[in-house]
A and B are shown apart, each in its own frame.
Chain A
Amino acid sequence: MNNYVDANTKVIVQGITGHQGKFHSGEMIKFGTKVVAGISPGKSSEKVNGVQIYDTVADTMHLAPNASMISVPAPYVKDAAFEAIDSGIRLIYILTEHVPFHDTMEIFYEASRKNITLIGPNGPGITRPGMCKIGIMPNHIFKRGDVAVASRSGTLTYEIVGALTNSGYGESTVIGLGGDPVVGLTFIDVLKVFNDDPDTKKIVLVGEIGGVNEEMAADYIKHNVKKKVVAYIAGRSAPPGKRMGHAGAIIEKGSGTAESKIKAFNSAGVQVADFPTDIPKLLK
């Protein structure tokens, strides 16, 4: 799979009979995603959105799935992810919010040992317009194009993608990395892929307060990325020590501030927009 997913990606949904799983699997199918199976123990005689339900991931192997969306309650996420990893699913996206980060650490290391891509938890997923959408991003905001977007937030991504599309741009890949302190894919991981992707000409990074992944991305861009990169950072007005909605969005002991991230991006030649809707202007 070039660029994580493509038109041939076959997706299973773990937790397809839940409120989120039911609604979003339907939207994914409308987008054109090949949703080949749903998992929900004890409901294997049923279908959701025309998709057959199975008791276990192992039962779906004859369908050759290569990606899973996990939308089960937080206490069960680790088990669901281990099940997908053990079955050899190549890309795992966790939608669920409030997963304990000790669980995410274990999931991440089990996945990386087997070269499995982990996206999330607590993000909107991945979309490649015209090919595949795994996750909860609204279908109507996208247009196929050459701008790649990676973001730590959901609605803010939609706001920016909407602004891009309205300004005549289109998107090659949009990835939500997730709002938790520990997540799978990071800015550097996706920058490597976007930098090599012939469909991508320009890159937008949407960061927020907390951690130092934006600073590390800035350093990586300075030395490795030839394509134009612009950014937005949320949380400039956030008080220290408070979690701003996302578990990972917190300024701790002076680390993780918006100023530090903006400064790092600027020193790498990456312009940072004051307002999310200014992103299209910076891409010109």
Chain B
Amino acid sequence: MNLYEYLGKDIFRANGIPVPDGYLVEKKEDVRKYEKPVVVKSQILLGGRGKSGGIKFVKSEGDLRPAIDSLLGSEVRGLKVTKLLVEEMIDIKKEMYVSFSLNRTERKPMLMATTEGGVEIESLPHEKIFLRLIDPLMGYSDYIAKEAIKFMNLDPAIAPQFRSLLGKLYSIFNKYDCELVEINPLVVTGDGKLIAADAKVVIDSDSLFRHKEFNVTDPEKTPLELEANGRGYSFVELQGDIGVIANGAGLTMATLDALTLHKGKPRNFLDLGGTDSVDIVIDAFDLVLKANPKTILVNIFGGVTKCDTVANGIVEAKKKYGIKQPIVVRLSGIHEVEGREILKQNGVDAFSDMMSAIEAAVKREGGN
């Protein structure tokens, strides 16, 4: 889960990483008296806020209210702005970059640092970035900072602050189960202080059971996705019109791919998971119906999830919700013959192979 900048900075502050003084504005009454120049930053979870007009620099008292009014409730890069961070303007002498992230292939944390911050790290040539894998069992130690400082040819006046900051940043990476902690830009101020001008913190959603303080709504998910996740389903909303229910993440992805290759447009990803229960199937239909698909495709390879259970769930869901849309079903695996028979008796098409069902679903969507 991606945290807003202000939450990331709360973590930084609590763990001794210097951040600019600031406060959060969610409604106009939250705005405090103007004392010194400030930056008003839209809290959205996409980069490029500055270029898209989501950041305003305020250098006089009269400019503060207009800046707040123009940003609060506006749209930046397609996202509605409901929170603003108002921060003291800092005197930027230099912008650097530092992060710890997961290197999936090596299965290790990875440090990235460069003196050329303020731009997207992907846009920099490889040789300008200090890259260092961290042994998860030994963890971070000071010698790693020494290597980084040498590589970056860091000003000796800055080096001690940088070394201390790296240690704290790695502690945050571990303590909060992070996928990423990134400071970009890490600013060197005119008076030679290091300060985190931005904060990007991504927390492993699977670790939230031990980080109750972050058990907040994931702002990157749609209301329907949140509802589905709350009911225990992996669910992703897409733009098409064929509702999809399948079992297993891989098979569900393969179903969406096959539909797309046949010029069909899936409306959603829904993984039924590995349970054998009629109610879970009925509940899945409830969710998919909320997305208003034109057709519903069910693709099941039965193992733990038995085909007759799914068939009974489909029949009951049809009755319960008075489903008008065509339902195309593929049942293969454990109890497939029984499952298809149940469906046939209730007027629902059922196939035994995946590709026939995919073709039928695409056809149904096109005609009626």
Q: Do A and B come from one complex?
A: yes
Could you tell me which A residues sit within 8 Å of B by CB distance? 23, 74-75, 98-102, 104-106, 108-110, 113, 136-138, 140-141, 151-159, 162, 179, 181-182, 186, 206, 208-213, 216, 232, 234-239, 241-249, 253-254, 258, 274-277
A101-B204, A109-B135, A244-B253 as given contacts; A155 in contact with B269, CB under 8 Å: no
Cβ contact within 8 Å between B353 and A277: yes
Which chain B residue shows the least CB distance to A216? B105
Bound: A155/B334 CA distance, A = 13
Selected contact of A159 from candidates B104, B207, B251, CB within 8 Å? B251
**Which of A75, A105, A153, A276 sits near B209, CB closer than 8 Å?**
A75
Which residue of A109, A152, A248, A277 contacts B137 across the interface (Cβ within 8 Å)? A109
| Chain A residues near B48 (CB-CB < 8 A) | none
Task: Judge whether B247 is part of the interface by a CB distance below 8 angstroms.
Answer: yes
Q: Which A residues are in CB contact (< 8 Å) with B158?
A: none
Tell me which residues across on chain A come within 8 A of B266, comparing CB atoms.
Answer: 237
Among B26-34, B144-152, B257-265, B315-323, the one that faces the other chain is: B257-265
CA distance A242 to B266 in the complex (A): 15
Residues of A within 8 Å of B205, CB to CB, are 247
Q: Is B301 a contact partner of A155 (Cβ separation < 8 A)?
A: yes
Neighbour of B258 across the interface among A102, A213, A275, CB < 8 A: A275
State A153–B248 Cα separation when bound (angstroms). Answer: 8
CB < 8 Å A-B pair total: 167
Asked, given contacts A100-B204, A162-B333, whether A244 binds B249 with beta carbons under 8 Å apart, the answer is yes
How distant is A100 from chain B, measured CB to nearest CB, in Å?
Answer: 4
Asked if A158 and B301 sit within 8 Å, CB to CB, the answer is: yes
B251 touches A237 (CB 8 A): no
Q: Find chain B residues with CB under 8 A from A234 CB.
A: 250, 253-254, 257
Q: Is the CB of B355 within 8 A of A275?
A: yes
Question: A179 contacts which of B109, B204, B249 (Cβ < 8 Å)?
Answer: B249
Is B274 in contact with A245, judged by CB distance below 8 angstroms? no
Question: In the complex the two chains form, what is the Cα distance from A108 to B207 in whole Å?
Answer: 17
- Judging by beta carbons under 8 Å apart, are A99 and B206 in contact? yes
Which of B107, B136, B234 touches A245 (beta carbons < 8 Å)? B234
In the bound complex, how far is the Cα of B16 from the Cα of A39, in angstroms? 44
User: Which chain A positions have C-beta within 8 A of B154?
Assistant: none
B108 adjacent to chain A (CB < 8 Å): yes
A276 and B249 in contact, given A75-B210, A110-B137, A158-B301 (Cβ under 8 angstroms):
no
Q: Is B96 an interface residue (CB 8 A)?
A: no
**Do A206 and B136 have beta carbons less than 8 Å apart?**
no
- Report the minimal beta-carbon distance from A67 to chain B, rounded to whole angstroms: 21
Q: In whole angstroms, what is the CA distance A54 to B266 when docked?
A: 48
Point out the residues of chain A lying under 8 angstroms from B102, CB to CB: 101, 181-182
Given contact pairs A106-B136, A212-B105, A179 touches B250 in the complex (Cβ within 8 A):
yes
Which residue of chain B has the shortest Cβ distance to A139 in the bound complex? B303
**B300 — nearest CB in chain A belongs to which residue?**
A155
Distance of A277 Cα from B354 Cα, bound (Å): 8
Choose one: B207, B234, B254, B332; the contact of A100 (CB below 8 Å).
Answer: B207
A97 to chain B, nearest CB (A): 8
Return the chain B residue nearest A153 by Cβ.
Answer: B250
Assess whether A237 is in contact with B256, with CB atoms less than 8 Å apart: yes
Whether A157 lies near B207 (C-beta < 8 A) is no
Quick check: A238 and B355 within 8 Å, CB to CB? no
Is the Cβ of B104 less than 8 Å from the Cβ of A211? yes
User: Contacts A110-B137, A242-B236: A154 and B248 contacting too (C-beta < 8 A)?
Assistant: yes
Q: List which B191-228 residues lie within 8 A (CB) of chain A.
A: 204-207, 209-210, 220
CB-CB nearest in chain A for B262: A275
- Chain B residues 55-91 with CB under 8 Å of chain A are none
Contact A276 B206 (CB under 8 A): no
Q: Name B253's closest neighbour in chain A (CB-CB).
A: A234
* CB-based closest 9 A-B pairs: A153-B250, A155-B248, A245-B249, A156-B250, A138-B303, A237-B260, A100-B207, A155-B251, A234-B253
